Structure 1
Amino acid sequence: MKVIFVCLGNICRSPMAEAMFKKIVAEAGVADQISVDSAGTSNIAEGSPADSRTKAILDKYHIKDDGMIARQLCDSDYYDADYIIAMDQMNVRDAKDMAPAGLENKVHGIFEATLGKENRYIVDPWITHRFQDTYNSLSEALPNWLVKLKKEIN
């Protein structure tokens, strides 16, 4: 099973989600069954490391960022991934628009696995500067994705 987290530039929300999800997947003992990656819908920050404020939040919670470098979502991602999980409505729309024919159904919103909050999204902290809010939202959404994926791999 492969999951790719997506935001606009792949320097704030999606690398934070990637690092956090890798940790909870490893802690759940399913790292050999679930691979985790991240990408952006644009190439605006391609080749850049995660935003320093994202790194600061990850450091605060002792989560490794493993030197992630921003990249743009590409066609092969749609073929390789089981789920492409986007952070906001624009990311969902853009990721679906970028999808090769017939693969747009792999794109999901970050809270789709959270009962009662399926239409909730995470605002870009690059704009709001609220990186702790991003972490808090991901802390709520990601465990629900783990539950969903564990059911699918068992």
Structure 2
Amino acid sequence: MIKVLFVCLGNICRSPMAEGVFKAYVKEKGLEDKFHFESRAISKWEEGRPVHPKTLEKLTPHQIDLTTKRSKAISELDFLDYDFIIGMDKKNIDFLKQFDDGAFRNKIHMYNKFKDVKDPYVTGNFEETYQRITKSMDKWIKKFEKTIKEKQVE
């Protein structure tokens, strides 16, 4: 099983959106036994708060329910537990690479290699965020499946 952690600033918009759409995607494809998706924040500003109402509103038509999810900050244990730690923007990546003096750099990836997934809390554009996340899903699933195959060879 591949364990993937999506990370953004507050864990109320982008990273829970990614968590939700990936969980729904693998369930639809019958692959949920191969993956585990979660999300975290790089800050504790929103700790314990629910997912942003506009994120929930964006996901509801897709039968994705994150009403029980609460913001949680990333911890050292997460770096040990997850195979992929995916930041939604460059600032997230910079923070993650500094964690534990860079010992987990090989697990850290930017969601879109050359372009931030903009924070809809700031931009107000939840549709754009949703589109950016869903546009790259197949690419990520292929990368995760490749990792599964490599682990089976070991």
Q: Hey, what's the Cα distance between the residues in 2 that align with 1:125 and 1:41?
A: 16
Shift of 1:151: 2.0
User: Mapping of 1:4-153 within 5 angstroms?
Assistant: 4-65=5-66, 67-99=68-100, 101-111=102-112, 118-153=113-148
Secondary structure, aligned partner of 1:18:
helix
RMSD: 1.3
Give the helix-richer structure, 1 or 2.
2
Q: Hey, what's the Cα distance between the residues in 2 that align with 1:79 and 1:102?
A: 10
Give 4+ residue runs of structure 1 displaced > 4 Å after superposition.
none
Structure 1 pair 100/28, CA: closer, same or farther in 2 (3 Å)? farther
Shift of 1:94: 0.8
Deviations 1:70-117 (A, max 9, x none): 000000000000000010000111111124652122111002xxxxxx
Q: Hey, what's the Cα distance between the residues in 1 that align with 2:6 and 2:85?
A: 6
In structure 1, what residue type is equivalent to 2:136? Answer: A
Secondary structure, aligned partner of 2:34:
coil
TM-score (norm. length: structure 1):
0.91
Structure 2: which 5+ runs fail to align?
150-154
Say whether the 8 Å CA contact 1:75–1:100 is kept in structure 2: no
Deviations 1:36-82 (A, max 9, x none): 00000001100001000000000122222251110000000000000
In structure 2, what residue type is equivalent to 1:137? Answer: R
State the aligned residue count: 148
Secondary structure, aligned partner of 2:96:
helix
Secondary structure, aligned partner of 1:32:
helix
TM-score (norm. length: structure 2):
0.91
Q: Hey, what's the Cα distance between the residues in 1 that align with 2:127 and 2:143?
A: 25
Structure 1 pair 78/110, CA: closer, same or farther in 2 (3 Å)? same
